[in-house]
């Protein structure tokens, strides 16, 4: 079993006297900044001039500076910008302001692993990646708990990089939930694989395909929505709580029998072979190149896919049904 580290394994004092710049104030950024501040760490937020997040961060009691100024002031720079924006902001505003002994950190390994950002040798490069969205990182912290994190060292210039990464993880509440050591490569490849094959890509297609099959066979879209989308959460909650076994304990024997006998016909050898192919595309950098080029060319394909997906009938039905749920809730 891989070892999990908890509060008593990490020393928050290592951040004493250090200024941490959180660059970006989105999902992860606001959570890291506020949690670190509440943990007694000296935090500043780096944002581009004109960012709508400036007012928000200031209202939440944080000091905000332009990214370059924040990077200059800080001993530790945590980049929490969208992955596709990081290379440019790093080159323009962060790299010129890095000093020997600074820590450069990330919540996802994409830009380091695929060589989009190449930091100088004299800075520590670490990752602290919460395994949950930012709002959960913040909420659990305020409740005295924490979202488990991965941590990794890519470059150890000070000889303290690993302890520093663990200290940061403690500052955002990660060691309350437990932190697990990894490498930039492992985190990047498994994260991309998970989101493409299971969590986002796989699940979206499974939901849509089930919905389309029922609707095309003449069933009411509202029923198809409930069966193929709405109930996913109920099942997933059970799986997360107690594994597949707990879910299978809670469903009817009819459902359980259908699970064992029909599930393997949905995920077939062909699907598994495709999973391996997708993993290869991640490992070889083919996916990263495609994503980087898509961004460089102005996201023509990305924009078209977003629009097409937003127009899918399941989204129309869902909008109406969810509006009814909230009406029911208010009554
Ligand atoms: P986000 O899109 O929620 O927020 C990014 C923020 O960056 C924006 O709110 C804005 O303040 C700023 N920003 C956007 N465009 C900018 C630009 N052009 N120049 C300067 N600033 C700009 O991003 P996020 O989801 O918090 O992701 C940040 C990092 O955390 C990524 O590396 C991501 O992979 C990683 N991560 C995200 C999650 C998650 O659940 N969201 C989980 C783990 C790790
Ligand atoms: Mg992820």
Q: Is 194 in the pocket of ligand 1 (CB under 6 A)?
A: no
- What is residue 326's predicted lDDT score, i.e. its pLDDT? 72
Q: Is 108 annotated in the active site? A: yes
Question: Residue 214 — φ and ψ, nearest 5°?
Answer: -70, -45
* pLDDT tens by residue, 29-58: 999 999 999 999 999 999 999 999 999 999
Mean pLDDT of the chain: 97
d(CA 168, CA 172): 7
| pLDDT exceeds 50 at position 14 | yes
Structure tokens at 117: 């950002």
Nearest atom in ligand 1 to 85's CA = 18
**Pick the catalytic residue: 108, 135, 230, 312?**
108
Distance 148 CA to ligand 1 centre (A): 19
Pocket test for ligand 1, best of 56, 64, 81 (most atoms within 8 A of CB): 81
* pLDDT tens by residue, 299-326: 999 999 999 999 999 999 999 999 887 7
Q: Rounded to two decimals, what is the model's pTM?
A: 0.94
* pLDDT tens by residue, 89-115: 999 999 999 999 999 999 999 999 999
| pLDDT exceeds 50 at position 331 | no
- Mean local confidence (pLDDT), 17-21: 98
Q: Is 48 in the pocket of ligand 1 (CB under 6 A)?
A: yes
Q: Is 53 in the pocket of ligand 1 (CB under 6 A)?
A: yes
Residue 327 banded pLDDT, cuts 50, 70, 90: low
Q: Is 111 in the pocket of ligand 1 (CB under 6 A)?
A: no
Ligand lying nearest the CA atom of residue 110:
1
* pLDDT tens by residue, 165-191: 999 999 999 999 999 999 999 999 999
Based on its alpha-carbon atoms, the radius of gyration of the chain, rounded to whole angstroms, reads: 22
| pLDDT exceeds 90 at position 330 | no
- What is residue 2's predicted lDDT score, i.e. its pLDDT? 87
């Amino acid at each position: 079993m891989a070892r999990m580290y908890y509060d008593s394994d990490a020393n928050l004092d290592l951040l004493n006297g250090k200024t941490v710049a959180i660059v970006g104030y989105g999902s992860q950024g606001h959570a890291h900044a506020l949690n670190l501040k509440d943990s007694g760490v000296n935090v500043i937020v780096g944002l581009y001039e004109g960012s709508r997040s400036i007012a928000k961060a200031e209202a939440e009691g944080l000091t905000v500076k332009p990214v370059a100024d924040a990077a200059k002031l800080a001993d530790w720079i945590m980049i929490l910008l969208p992955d596709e924006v990081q290379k440019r902001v790093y080159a323009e505003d962060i790299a010129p302001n890095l000093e020997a002994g600074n820590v450069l950190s990330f919540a996802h390994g994409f830009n380091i692993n695929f060589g989009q950002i190449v930091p100088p040798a004299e800075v520590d490069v670490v990752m602290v990646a919460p395994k949950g969205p930012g709002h959960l990182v913040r909420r659990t912290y305020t409740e005295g708990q924490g979202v488990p994190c991965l941590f990794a060292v890519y470059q150890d210039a000070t000889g303290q990089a690993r302890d520093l990464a663990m200290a940061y993880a403690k500052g955002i509440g990660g060691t309350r939930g437990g932190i697990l050591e990894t490498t930039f490569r492992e985190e990047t490849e498994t994260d991309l694989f998970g989101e493409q094959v299971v969590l986002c890509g796989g699940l979206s297609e499974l939901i849509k395909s089930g919905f389309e099959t029922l609707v095309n066979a003449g069933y009411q879209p509202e029923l198809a929505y409930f069966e193929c989308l709405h109930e996913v959460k109920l099942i997933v909650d059970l799986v997360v709580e107690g594994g597949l076994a707990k879910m299978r304990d809670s469903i009817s024997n009819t459902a359980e029998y259908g699970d064992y006998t029909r599930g393997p016909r949905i995920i077939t050898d062909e699907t598994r072979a495709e999973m391996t192919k997708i993993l290869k595309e991640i490992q070889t950098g083919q996916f990263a190149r495609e994503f980087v080029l898509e961004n460089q060319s102005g996201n023509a394909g990305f924009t078209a896919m977003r629009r097409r997906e937003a127009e899918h009938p399941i989204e129309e039905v869902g909008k109406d049904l969810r509006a009814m749920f909230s009406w029911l809730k208010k009554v």
